[in-house]
A and B are shown apart, each in its own frame.
Chain A
Amino acid sequence: MSAVPAPAADAPKSAHTAADYKSDYKPIWCPGCGDYSVLSSFTKAFAILDLAPERIAVVSGIGCSSRIPAYTSCYGFHGVHGRSLAAATGLKLARPDLTVVVASGDGDGYSIGGNHFLHACRRNADLTYVVMDNHVYGMTKGQPSPTTEPDWDSKLSPGGTGLRSFNPLVIALAAGANFVARAFAGDPNGTAEIIAEAIRTPGFSFVEVMSPCVTFRPEQREWKHHVRPSPVPATDDAAKAARRLMTDDGFNIGVLYKGDRPPYQPPMGKGRKTPADLERGFAI
């Protein structure tokens, strides 16, 4: 199993810094976008875990958040709208030795990607799914996403959609995710710690990052005044986690649930070589 072990108390300092995971490409996001700091949290989390960049694959779909793979020096895959989890699942099952991190947004991940989200939680492959949630389709310039409030006014939904917003944490928990957390882009170090813990935890880890869209949802600048560390530590009791979500106002930051369900690994015939075995022969 390739889950990244927790460092021992006397472990030496990481040989990597966050800069080791940054590519030469300058990110193209609006000034003030929360995704800049999520990118920073990715690279900090990788440094905390001391993973070589070539042991990591960052997979995404389509949307502002999905630009992230090219901004890292890891393996990257920019997929099709909503399909990041399907691509990541295929990759992880073929290459269980890689740490696979999936980057998505609320538009990409919860509408066209919604079905994949349910089944990825249920399947519990060893993936870390980071969704940058800003309650809006940003790349198509401001339409309501599944997490948008019912009364948010937009060109496509004058007066609001009137639809209940999707609760990703509830869905993840109900569908069987092994790790469920909420983070805030305004705290890149805290988010990095949560992403690192999500990667360390075997199975499907879901991290919802509140990542403000200052262009189409400028009121989200206020999030920084509302977020707070979760008053209670993570639980391994799904029923307890569910009860907490019933009273959750959406601003508690931290790990909500951490289970111990064994990750999905398809049975492999005896003597079958993995792609990694085959690759060994070509190592220089």
Chain B
Amino acid sequence: MSRRLLTGNGAAAWGARLAEVDYVPAFPITPQTEIVETLARWCDAGEMAARLTMLESEHSMVTAAGAAAAAGARVFTATSSQGLQYAMEMIFTVAGWRVPFVMVNVSRALASPITLEPDHTDVLSARDAGFLQIHCATCQEVMDGVLIAYRVAEDARVRLPAIVNEDGFYLSFTREPVELPDPGAVRRFLPAFDPGSAAFRASHPASRAVAVLGGAPYSYFRYEAHLAARAALAVYDEAATAFAAAFGRSWPAVERYRSDDAEVVFFMIGAFATKAKDAVDRLREAGERVGLVRPRLLRPWPDAALREALAGKRAVAVIDQNLSMGMGGVLAAELASALHGHAGMPMIVPFVGALGGRDIAAEEFFEIARAARAAAAAGVAPGPRLLYTADELREVRKLQAIAHAERPGAGGTR
């Protein structure tokens, strides 16, 4: 065991290295590139026995990842934002192939407008694909999450690919102390990939990825994948328990922070939850019974664990760093699906914020807690509220004024 200062991207690369992956199809995109460049350096130096190939796009990269995993290789890859979107056809397809591999997504907001800064709309757009999703708040979680993801994805009861998500910039480029486990201990936790019947085997030809006619076989295979994803709930719990026993770090599917006696809880995923924890501490100092509940596992959706964590609370303030246009935040809707129809569940008070790299200030967490408490007291669930200040609106209005300004000589025929 050793301790190093690593960025989220460095931690992701270490996860792949410790998992002793065989193959890394790669394509650069900001803010992910550092992951595959780090792996390329290790492969070149002989510190990793993997093959790394740069493909011509993320679409080809995910296709190659799926095909290599179908052939029995342990595969790692990574992407972000527009790259994930470009690969989306294959994200759905390879999940249907039932091939386990791990892809780190470094969350970055989607065009348009074009931006490099983070939010979660990219990764949440893959939530219906059949990939498992683990969402990380710290660099340590990124590395550990990769190892846990392999164990769950490769389990014979699951056999689905997995996304491990980290926030671009806030986590990808921030250094934190990360405990690196001994390779031997990792091997005991994560034995070599046994592809079982999924592999191409000598003298056992089999055709894969076939087409079906009619809804009956289609429904069967899709629902079977759904059941496998649901089975991953228990498999994840087993893996997290085994991980805690082996390495002393506990990563349950749902994190609860000072929430046991809380009346109001913040509910969010990813690195910004660490800011929410700080706000919880400060509100607690002021005598408020506030906590945080954070799902690490987003697919499968740990609905029972969420109900257990939230039962008896007055309000749950959901902070969505994503936007489903015409509806609101994705997490708020997902949480409603878990809580609806169950007795003793809190009111959901939805917020949308931190889009495209925007920060969430401590004062905003205080206001969120206040608004959630007020909504619960009034007994009326409000619609989604955007975290946005008058100052920000003024700045945007200034930009719009510049954009609308007639430049001397512009326009018209001359």
Residues in A lying within 8 Å of B, measured CB to CB: 15-16, 20, 23-24, 52-54, 62, 73, 78, 80-82, 111-112, 114, 137, 139-141, 143-144, 146, 155-159, 161
Contact = CB atoms under 8 A, between A and B. Distances in A.
A16 B414 CA distance: 9
A16 B409 CA distance: 11
Given A81-B86, A140-B33, A156 B26 contact: yes
Interface string B39-57: 0110110000000001011
Contacts of B82: 62, 80-81
8 contacts: A52-B413, A54-B413, A62-B114, A140-B28, A140-B30, A156-B33, A156-B36, A157-B40
B205 interface: no
Q: Looking at chain B, what size class is its interface with the partner chain?
A: 20 to 34
- The 5 A-B pairs at the shortest CB distance, nearest first, are namely A158-B44, A155-B37, A140-B28, A111-B56, A143-B28
Nearest to A284: B412
Interface in B2-51: 26, 28-30, 33, 36-37, 40-41, 43-44
Nearest to B45: A158
Nearest to B31: A140
A140 B54 CA distance: 14
A143 B54 contact: yes
A52 B411 CA distance: 9
B198 to A, nearest CB: 29
B71 interface: no
Interface string B52-70: 0010110100000000000
Contacts of B86: 81, 112
Nearest to A113: B57
A158 B40 contact: yes
B76 to A, nearest CB: 15
A143 B82 CA distance: 18
B414 A15 contact: yes
A157 B54 contact: yes
A196 B54 CA distance: 37
Contacts of B30: 139-140
B410 interface: yes
Nearest to B56: A111
A156 B54 contact: yes
B111 interface: yes
Label chain A's interface by main secondary structure: loop
B121 to A, nearest CB: 15
Nearest to A83: B86
Given A156-B54, A158-B44, A80 B111 contact: yes
Contacts of A62: 82, 114
A73 B153 CA distance: 52
A139 B82 CA distance: 15
B407 interface: yes
Nearest to B40: A156
Contacts of B29: 140
B57 A112 contact: yes
A78 B413 contact: no
Contacts of A24: 407
A34 B43 CA distance: 33
A146 B56 CA distance: 8
A155 B41 CA distance: 7
Given A112-B57, A155-B41, 20 more contacts: A15-B414, A20-B409, A24-B407, A52-B414, A53-B410, A73-B407, A112-B86, A137-B28, A139-B30, A140-B30, A141-B33, A143-B37, A143-B54, A155-B37, A156-B26, A156-B36, A156-B37, A157-B40, A158-B40, A159-B44
A152 to B, nearest CB: 12
Nearest to A141: B33
A140 B36 CA distance: 12
Nearest to A112: B57
Nearest to A55: B413
Interface in B82-96: 82, 86
Contacts of A73: 407, 410
Contacts of A144: 54
A125 to B, nearest CB: 24
B11 to A, nearest CB: 18
A78 B114 contact: yes
A78 B112 CA distance: 10
Interface in B258-286: none
A270 B16 CA distance: 62
